[in-house]
Amino acid sequence: MKRAKSTKARTIGPEASETCFFISPIGDENSNQRKRSDNLIEHVIEVALQDFDLTCVRADHIAAVGMISQQILEKIITSALVIADLTDFNANVYYELAVRHALNLPCVLLIEEGQLPPFDIKDMRVISYNLQDISKLKPVQNAVRTTIDHSLNAEISDNPISLAFRLNEISHRRSADDKGNQLQTIASHLRQMNAVLSHVRDVVDFQSESMFGEMNIDELLRQSNMSPIEVASQLDLIDSEVIRIRSIARVHLPKELQDTFDRRYHSIVRSLKLLKEEFRIND
Domains of the chain, by residue range, sit at 19-157, 163-281
How confident is the model over 185-208, as pLDDT tens digits? 666 655 665 555 555 444 444 444
For the chain, give the percent of residues with pLDDT over 70. 57
pLDDT > 90 fraction of the chain, expressed in percent and rounded? 36
pLDDT in tens, 77-119: 999 999 999 999 999 999 999 999 988 889 999 999 999 998 8
| Per-residue pLDDT band at 213 (split at 50, 70, 90) | very low
pLDDT tier at 165 (50, 70, 90 boundaries)? Answer: confident
Closest by CA position to 54, among listed 5, 90, 101, 124? 5
Amino acid in position 156: I
pLDDT at residue 121 in the model = 86
Which of these, 194, 175, 209, lies nearest to 257 by C-alpha position?
Answer: 194
pLDDT at 26: 92
Q: Do domains 19-157 and 163-281 have the same CATH topology?
A: no
Q: Please identify, in words, the CATH class of the domain defined by 19-157.
A: alpha beta
CATH architecture observed for domain 163-281: Up-down Bundle (1.20)
Q: Quick one: average pLDDT of 34-38?
A: 96
- What pLDDT shows up at residue 162? 75
> What is the C-alpha separation between 81 and 75, in angstroms, rounded?
10
Whether residue 56 contacts residue 84, with contact meaning beta carbons closer than 8 Å, is answered with no
